């Protein structure tokens, strides 16, 4: 992996964070209103509630990011890792084989916590990645990019894809690829794209 491997991504990330059109925030819980209806007697309500509880098993939401150990390497030298607890590390723009530095933390619910600037990002169930900026920063939640299948396209890029995964190879551009180690599943390919987006965003943030 060349030392400039992430350079273009950092530049595009800076543009995406600073200039992207703001997107509406998704509230943490939907607020709905309904017409008033007569309340059933307490005993009926209790029995109805109990019946509903027994009839409808609880659902566990599928994770938006598959968090499992993952290593990306270039010519046998690790350049990025994801740990089982969601922590990451990468070589950034340094040469392969150098010490990996702590990177963003990924969470199964789609949250991405950056290492600096009080910035976070989130992945939604449509593959959109938004940057959640600190209070007072405008736009507050710009669109950074979108994952569609095995491709990540940055919002301000005019290219058909910015990063893509083909088999066990992750490509950052023409003649610029690295390898995802081990048996690569579809969810691992998706996670590798999320990692790339997280590293781009983190690398584009100015300040401590």
pLDDT in tens, 147-172: 999 999 999 999 999 999 999 999 99
Q: What is the pLDDT of residue 20?
A: 39
Quote the CA–CA distance of 83 and 46 in Å, as a whole number.
46
Question: How open is the CA angle 137-133-87, to the nearest 5 degrees?
Answer: 155
In the chain, what is the straight-line distance between the N-terminal and C-terminal CA atoms, in Å?
26
**Mean pLDDT, residues 102-127:** 96
Does residue 192 have a pLDDT over 80? Answer: yes
For 35-49, 126-140, 193-207, which range has the lowest pLDDT when averaged over its residues? 35-49
Q: Which of 38-47, 87-96, 97-106 has the lowest mean pLDDT?
A: 38-47
C-alpha distances in angstroms, 200 versus 12, 75, 167? 8, 22, 22
Decide if 190 contacts 82 (C-beta within 8 A).
no
Residues 68-100: pLDDT tens digits?
Answer: 999 999 999 999 999 999 999 999 888 888 899
CA 66 – CA 186 distance, rounded (Å): 10
Yes or no: say if 20 and 155 are a contact pair by the CB < 8 Å rule: yes
pLDDT at 24 over 60: no
CB atoms within 10 A of CB 183: 7
């Amino acid at each position: 992996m060349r030392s400039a491997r992430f350079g273009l991504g950092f530049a595009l990330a800076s543009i995406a964070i600073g200039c992207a059109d703001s997107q509406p925030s998704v509230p943490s819980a939907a607020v709905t209103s309904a017409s008033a209806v007569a309340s059933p007697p307490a005993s009926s309500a209790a029995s109805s509630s109990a019946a509903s509880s027994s009839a409808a098993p609880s659902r566990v939401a599928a994770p938006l990011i598959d968090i499992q150990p993952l290593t990306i390497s270039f010519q046998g030298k690790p350049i990025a890792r994801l740990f089982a607890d969601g922590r990451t590390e990468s070589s950034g723009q340094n040469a392969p084989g150098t010490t990996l530095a702590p990177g963003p933390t990924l969470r199964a619910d789609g949250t991405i916590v950056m290492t600096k600037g009080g910035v976070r990002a989130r992945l939604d169930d449509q593959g959109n990645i938004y940057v959640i900026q600190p209070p007072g920063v405008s736009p507050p939640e710009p669109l950074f990019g979108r994952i569609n299948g095995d491709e990540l396209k940055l919002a301000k890029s005019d290219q058909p894809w910015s990063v893509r995964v083909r088999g066990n190879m992750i490509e950052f551009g023409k003649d610029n690829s690295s390898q995802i180690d081990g048996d690569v599943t579809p969810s691992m390919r998706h996670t590798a794209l999320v990692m790339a987006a997280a590293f781009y965003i983190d690398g584009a943030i100015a300040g401590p």
